[in-house]
Chains A and B, each alone.
Chain A
Amino acid sequence: SQQGEEDPQALSIQEGENATMNCSYKTSINNLQWYRQNSGRGLVHLILIRSNEREKHSGRLRVTLDTSKKSSSLLITASRAADTASYFCAIVVSGGYNKLIFGAGTRLAVHP
Protein backbone atom coordinates (compact mmCIF):
# COMPACT_ATOMS: atom_id res chain seq x y z
CA SER A 1 0.00 0.00 0.00
CA GLN A 2 1.24 3.51 -0.80
CA GLN A 3 -0.66 5.07 2.04
CA GLY A 4 -0.01 4.64 5.72
CA GLU A 5 -2.38 5.05 8.59
CA GLU A 6 -3.79 8.18 10.06
CA ASP A 7 -3.18 8.81 13.69
CA PRO A 8 -5.11 8.85 15.90
CA GLN A 9 -8.03 6.80 14.57
CA ALA A 10 -10.36 8.71 16.88
CA LEU A 11 -9.98 11.94 18.82
CA SER A 12 -12.35 13.40 21.41
CA ILE A 13 -11.84 16.96 22.66
CA GLN A 14 -13.71 19.87 24.22
CA GLU A 15 -14.78 22.95 22.32
CA GLY A 16 -12.02 25.54 22.25
CA GLU A 17 -9.21 22.99 22.32
CA ASN A 18 -6.90 22.34 19.40
CA ALA A 19 -7.09 19.10 17.43
CA THR A 20 -4.07 17.59 15.70
CA MET A 21 -4.33 14.73 13.23
CA ASN A 22 -1.40 13.02 11.57
CA CYS A 23 -1.04 11.23 8.26
CA SER A 24 1.82 9.06 7.02
CA TYR A 25 2.52 7.72 3.57
CA LYS A 26 5.07 5.47 1.93
CA THR A 27 5.98 6.90 -1.44
CA SER A 28 7.07 10.11 -3.16
CA ILE A 29 4.21 12.50 -3.62
CA ASN A 30 3.23 15.34 -5.89
CA ASN A 31 0.84 16.84 -3.36
CA LEU A 32 -1.24 15.97 -0.32
CA GLN A 33 -4.81 17.01 0.33
CA TRP A 34 -7.02 16.99 3.41
CA TYR A 35 -10.74 16.33 3.22
CA ARG A 36 -13.54 16.37 5.73
CA GLN A 37 -16.56 14.08 5.78
CA ASN A 38 -19.59 14.57 7.98
CA SER A 39 -21.21 11.30 8.94
CA GLY A 40 -22.36 9.46 5.82
CA ARG A 41 -22.06 12.53 3.64
CA GLY A 42 -19.81 13.81 0.86
CA LEU A 43 -16.15 14.78 0.99
CA VAL A 44 -15.33 18.44 1.41
CA HIS A 45 -11.91 19.66 0.32
CA LEU A 46 -10.08 21.55 3.06
CA ILE A 47 -6.56 22.27 1.93
CA LEU A 48 -3.88 21.17 -0.56
CA ILE A 49 -0.15 21.27 0.11
CA ARG A 50 2.41 20.71 -2.61
CA SER A 51 5.49 18.55 -2.08
CA ASN A 52 7.77 21.60 -2.11
CA GLU A 53 5.75 23.37 0.59
CA ARG A 54 6.22 22.87 4.31
CA GLU A 55 3.23 24.64 5.83
CA LYS A 56 -0.08 26.14 4.74
CA HIS A 57 -2.83 27.95 6.58
CA SER A 58 -6.50 28.38 5.86
CA GLY A 59 -8.60 30.06 8.55
CA ARG A 60 -8.36 27.85 11.66
CA LEU A 61 -6.57 25.11 9.73
CA ARG A 62 -2.83 24.63 9.60
CA VAL A 63 -1.25 21.85 7.57
CA THR A 64 2.39 20.84 7.70
CA LEU A 65 4.26 18.49 5.41
CA ASP A 66 7.55 16.75 6.10
CA THR A 67 8.58 14.87 2.97
CA SER A 68 11.71 13.48 4.65
CA LYS A 69 9.50 11.74 7.22
CA LYS A 70 6.70 11.15 4.72
CA SER A 71 4.17 12.65 7.06
CA SER A 72 1.68 15.48 7.33
CA SER A 73 -0.36 16.95 10.13
CA LEU A 74 -3.61 18.88 10.24
CA LEU A 75 -4.15 21.25 13.14
CA ILE A 76 -7.59 22.70 13.83
CA THR A 77 -7.35 25.54 16.32
CA ALA A 78 -10.10 26.66 18.69
CA SER A 79 -12.31 23.73 17.72
CA ARG A 80 -16.09 23.98 17.59
CA ALA A 81 -18.80 21.35 17.90
CA ALA A 82 -19.44 21.84 14.18
CA ASP A 83 -15.92 20.52 13.46
CA THR A 84 -17.12 17.05 14.48
CA ALA A 85 -16.46 14.90 11.41
CA SER A 86 -14.01 12.44 9.89
CA TYR A 87 -10.86 13.91 8.42
CA PHE A 88 -8.94 12.19 5.63
CA CYS A 89 -5.63 12.87 4.02
CA ALA A 90 -5.15 11.87 0.41
CA ILE A 91 -1.96 11.78 -1.61
CA VAL A 92 -1.22 12.21 -5.28
CA VAL A 93 1.74 10.01 -6.05
CA SER A 94 4.47 11.53 -8.20
CA GLY A 95 5.19 9.75 -11.45
CA GLY A 96 2.04 9.95 -13.48
CA TYR A 97 -0.74 8.66 -11.23
CA ASN A 98 -3.94 10.53 -11.88
CA LYS A 99 -5.80 9.77 -8.65
CA LEU A 100 -6.10 10.41 -4.93
CA ILE A 101 -5.07 7.67 -2.50
CA PHE A 102 -6.89 8.10 0.79
CA GLY A 103 -5.91 7.19 4.31
CA ALA A 104 -8.26 5.56 6.78
CA GLY A 105 -9.17 8.85 8.45
CA THR A 106 -9.44 10.28 11.93
CA ARG A 107 -12.86 10.57 13.58
CA LEU A 108 -12.96 13.83 15.51
CA ALA A 109 -15.61 14.50 18.14
CA VAL A 110 -15.77 18.00 19.61
CA HIS A 111 -17.93 18.24 22.73
CA PRO A 112 -19.65 21.49 23.73
Chain B
Amino acid sequence: EPEVTQTPSHQVTQMGQEVILRCVPISNHLYFYWYRQILGQKVEFLVSFYNNEISEKSEIFDDQFSVERPDGSNFTLKIRSTKLEDSAMYFCASSVKSPLYAETQYFGPGTRLLVL
Protein backbone atom coordinates (compact mmCIF):
# COMPACT_ATOMS: atom_id res chain seq x y z
CA GLU B 1 0.00 0.00 0.00
CA PRO B 2 1.39 3.44 -0.90
CA GLU B 3 2.55 5.52 2.03
CA VAL B 4 4.03 8.90 2.85
CA THR B 5 7.72 8.73 3.70
CA GLN B 6 9.83 11.24 5.59
CA THR B 7 13.56 11.74 6.04
CA PRO B 8 15.43 11.94 8.28
CA SER B 9 13.63 10.17 11.11
CA HIS B 10 15.65 12.15 13.66
CA GLN B 11 17.55 15.42 13.33
CA VAL B 12 19.63 17.18 15.95
CA THR B 13 20.75 20.73 15.21
CA GLN B 14 22.22 23.76 16.92
CA MET B 15 20.08 26.82 17.53
CA GLY B 16 20.33 29.22 14.60
CA GLN B 17 21.09 26.53 12.05
CA GLU B 18 18.94 25.83 9.00
CA VAL B 19 17.22 22.48 8.65
CA ILE B 20 15.38 20.91 5.76
CA LEU B 21 12.87 18.17 6.42
CA ARG B 22 11.96 16.00 3.48
CA CYS B 23 8.79 14.19 2.55
CA VAL B 24 7.69 12.04 -0.36
CA PRO B 25 3.87 12.19 -0.56
CA ILE B 26 1.76 9.46 -2.10
CA SER B 27 2.24 9.70 -5.84
CA ASN B 28 -1.27 10.58 -7.09
CA HIS B 29 -1.99 13.01 -4.25
CA LEU B 30 -2.36 16.70 -4.99
CA TYR B 31 -2.58 18.31 -1.53
CA PHE B 32 0.34 18.37 0.85
CA TYR B 33 0.61 19.44 4.47
CA TRP B 34 3.01 19.92 7.33
CA TYR B 35 1.97 19.54 10.95
CA ARG B 36 4.00 19.52 14.12
CA GLN B 37 3.60 18.02 17.56
CA ILE B 38 5.56 19.36 20.48
CA LEU B 39 6.21 16.56 22.99
CA GLY B 40 3.07 15.81 24.98
CA GLN B 41 0.94 18.37 23.11
CA LYS B 42 -1.61 18.49 20.31
CA VAL B 43 -0.82 18.02 16.67
CA GLU B 44 -0.80 21.52 15.14
CA PHE B 45 -1.33 22.52 11.51
CA LEU B 46 1.50 24.46 9.91
CA VAL B 47 0.81 24.78 6.19
CA SER B 48 -1.06 23.31 3.25
CA PHE B 49 0.21 23.33 -0.32
CA TYR B 50 -1.59 22.82 -3.60
CA ASN B 51 -0.76 23.53 -7.21
CA ASN B 52 2.74 24.70 -6.30
CA GLU B 53 1.66 27.32 -3.85
CA ILE B 54 0.69 27.68 -0.22
CA SER B 55 -3.09 27.45 0.14
CA GLU B 56 -3.22 28.07 3.88
CA LYS B 57 -0.81 28.62 6.75
CA SER B 58 -1.09 29.00 10.50
CA GLU B 59 0.35 31.76 12.66
CA ILE B 60 3.13 29.35 13.64
CA PHE B 61 4.31 29.35 10.02
CA ASP B 62 6.22 32.62 10.13
CA ASP B 63 9.00 33.93 7.90
CA GLN B 64 11.43 31.39 9.34
CA PHE B 65 9.51 28.60 7.61
CA SER B 66 9.19 27.83 3.92
CA VAL B 67 7.95 24.92 1.85
CA GLU B 68 8.87 23.75 -1.59
CA ARG B 69 8.09 21.04 -4.06
CA PRO B 70 11.42 20.99 -5.87
CA ASP B 71 10.52 18.14 -8.21
CA GLY B 72 7.62 15.83 -8.96
CA SER B 73 8.01 13.72 -5.85
CA ASN B 74 9.54 15.62 -2.92
CA PHE B 75 7.94 18.13 -0.58
CA THR B 76 10.23 19.95 1.83
CA LEU B 77 9.91 22.10 4.94
CA LYS B 78 12.79 24.47 5.63
CA ILE B 79 13.36 26.22 8.94
CA ARG B 80 15.85 29.01 8.28
CA SER B 81 17.17 29.74 11.74
CA THR B 82 16.03 27.18 14.28
CA LYS B 83 14.99 28.10 17.80
CA LEU B 84 14.78 25.90 20.89
CA GLU B 85 10.98 25.99 20.67
CA ASP B 86 11.10 24.45 17.18
CA SER B 87 11.95 21.12 18.82
CA ALA B 88 9.03 18.86 17.91
CA MET B 89 7.90 15.97 15.77
CA TYR B 90 7.13 17.21 12.27
CA PHE B 91 4.60 15.29 10.22
CA CYS B 92 4.05 15.49 6.49
CA ALA B 93 0.67 14.47 5.11
CA SER B 94 -0.97 14.25 1.72
CA SER B 95 -4.43 13.79 0.25
CA VAL B 96 -5.94 13.34 -3.18
CA LYS B 97 -8.30 16.27 -2.79
CA SER B 98 -8.91 18.98 -0.26
CA PRO B 99 -10.17 17.74 3.13
CA LEU B 100 -13.31 19.78 2.40
CA TYR B 101 -14.25 16.91 0.09
CA ALA B 102 -14.12 14.56 3.08
CA GLU B 103 -10.76 13.29 1.98
CA THR B 104 -8.49 11.32 4.26
CA GLN B 105 -5.09 12.83 4.96
CA TYR B 106 -2.35 10.21 5.07
CA PHE B 107 0.47 10.98 7.45
CA GLY B 108 4.13 10.08 7.29
CA PRO B 109 6.03 8.61 10.27
CA GLY B 110 7.43 12.00 11.26
CA THR B 111 10.82 13.62 11.76
CA ARG B 112 11.82 14.27 15.33
CA LEU B 113 13.71 17.56 15.44
CA LEU B 114 15.77 18.49 18.47
CA VAL B 115 17.26 21.98 18.64
CA LEU B 116 20.08 22.41 21.16
Binding site for B on A (CB under 8 A): 30-31, 33, 35, 40-45, 48, 50, 88, 90, 92, 94, 96-105
Binding site for A on B (CB under 8 A): 31, 33, 35, 41-45, 48, 50, 55-56, 58, 89, 91, 93, 98-100, 102, 104-110, 112
Chain B at the A interface: SS class: strand
**Interface contact B91-A102, CB-CB below 8 Å:** no
Instruction: Say how far B64's CB is from chain A's closest CB, in angstroms.
Output: 20
Instruction: Say how far A53's CB is from chain B's closest CB, in angstroms.
Output: 9
Given that A42-B107, A45-B106 are known contacts, is A98 also in contact with B56, CB under 8 Å in the complex? Answer: yes
Candidate in A31, A50, A94, A100 with the most chain B CB atoms within 10 angstroms: A100
Q: Name the contact of B100 in the complex, choosing from A88, A90, A92 (C-beta under 8 A).
A: A92
Instruction: Say how far B48's CB is from chain A's closest CB, in angstroms.
Output: 5
**Interface contact A99-B102, CB-CB below 8 Å:** no
Given that A42-B91, A42-B109, A45-B106 are known contacts, is A102 also in contact with B42, CB under 8 Å in the complex? Answer: yes
